[in-house]
């Protein structure tokens, strides 16, 4: 169920509207007026049910997501710093200054899962409309931390194998005829030295590794 944001809160004598003590010409205030929040709420409301517990108001959630990307902050950081910054609160639709966190950071995860790919494209569209060509990065930084990599780690066997292959290549280029190139032998020895940590293969693997080293030295 879509949560509703109170745009006309009942003020006490201690509550002062944000508009009275912030600079309305601040960049975030100007940016806030450029965004069609009603249209955004209408587009995202289709991802919510009509029954159940009210969600975090769409204006607040989308506002914090935009601020998160503008200032390049984590989910936890943006929520923690929101309660310190009246301009961030004004941008996300608050009318009076808030002293409590807007929601738990895990709500970001639930919201992203709810809107899916289509909702993410709507957010991207909003960013492009706001910043135009500035939203298009000249360089794209790809985080490949968890991406599968086609790499291999050097071992003594691999290094000695490279020595043997390099020497064979040089000999061929220089027209030197070697008595033996060890091509077939090397292939079998590399197979034998695999899984050298296995108890049943350890003895055979060590012998194969010694043989490869001898050939490289020869």
Residue 186 located in a structural domain: yes
Nearby residues of 86 by Cβ (< 8 Å), 6 or more positions away: 18, 21, 22, 97
Residue 178 located in a structural domain: yes
The count of structural domains within the chain is 2
161 and 92 share one domain: no
126 and 160 share one domain: no
27 and 86 share one domain: yes
87 and 58 share one domain: yes
Of 78, 104, 135, which marks where a domain is finished? 135
Q: For the segment 103-152, what is each residue's pLDDT rounded down to a tens digit?
A: 999 899 989 898 888 888 888 888 777 766 554 555 555 555 555 555 55
Residue 141 located in a structural domain: no
Give the span between the Cα atoms of 200 and 153, in whole angstroms: 24
Instruction: Flag residues of the chain having pLDDT under 50.
Output: 135
Residue 140 located in a structural domain: no
Is pTM beyond 0.75 here? no
Predicted local distance difference test score (pLDDT) of residue 23 = 92
Residue 147 located in a structural domain: no
Predicted local distance difference test score (pLDDT) of residue 70 = 86
119 and 169 share one domain: no
CB distance 126 to 35 below 8 Å? yes
22 and 75 share one domain: yes
CB distance 92 to 82 below 8 Å? yes
Predicted local distance difference test score (pLDDT) of residue 29 = 93
CB distance 128 to 180 below 8 Å? no
Predicted local distance difference test score (pLDDT) of residue 131 = 65
114 and 188 share one domain: no
Domain that holds residue 40: 18-135
Residue 5 located in a structural domain: no
33 and 131 share one domain: yes
Predicted local distance difference test score (pLDDT) of residue 49 = 82
Strand partners for 17: 96
109 and 196 share one domain: no
> In 3D, which of 34, 23, 98 has the Cα closest to residue 66?
34
Residue 160 located in a structural domain: yes
Predicted local distance difference test score (pLDDT) of residue 21 = 86
Give the span between the Cα atoms of 165 and 187, in whole angstroms: 11
Predicted local distance difference test score (pLDDT) of residue 143 = 54
Of 104, 135, 166, which marks where a domain is finished? 135
For 8, what's the count of Cα atoms within 13 Å in the CB-facing half-sphere?
0
30 and 83 share one domain: yes
Residue 199 located in a structural domain: yes
């Amino acid at each position: 169920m879509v949560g509703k944001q109170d745009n006309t809160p009942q003020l006490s004598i201690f509550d002062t509207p944000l508009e009275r003590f912030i600079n309305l010409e601040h960049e975030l205030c100007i940016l806030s007026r450029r965004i069609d929040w009603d249209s955004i709420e209408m587009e995202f409301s289709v991802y919510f049910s009509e029954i159940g517990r009210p969600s975090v108001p769409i204006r607040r959630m989308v506002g914090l997501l935009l601020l998160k990307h503008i200032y390049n902050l984590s989910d936890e950081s943006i929520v923690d710093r929101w309660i310190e910054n009246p301009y961030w609160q004004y941008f996300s639709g608050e009318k009076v200054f808030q002293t409590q966190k807007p929601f738990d950071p895990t709500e970001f995860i639930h919201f992203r899962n709810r809107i899916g790919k289509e909702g993410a494209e709507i957010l991207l569209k909003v960013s492009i409309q706001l910043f135009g060509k500035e939203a298009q990065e000249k360089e794209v930084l790809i985080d490949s931390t968890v991406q599968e990599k086609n790499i291999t780690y050097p071992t003594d066997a691999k290094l000695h194998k490279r020595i043997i292959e390099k020497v064979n290549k040089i000999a061929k280029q220089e027209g030197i005829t070697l008595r033996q190139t060890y091509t077939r032998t090397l292939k079998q020895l590399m197979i034998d030295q695999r899984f050298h940590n296995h108890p049943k293969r350890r003895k055979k693997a060590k012998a194969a590794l010694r043989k490869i080293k001898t050939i490289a030295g020869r």
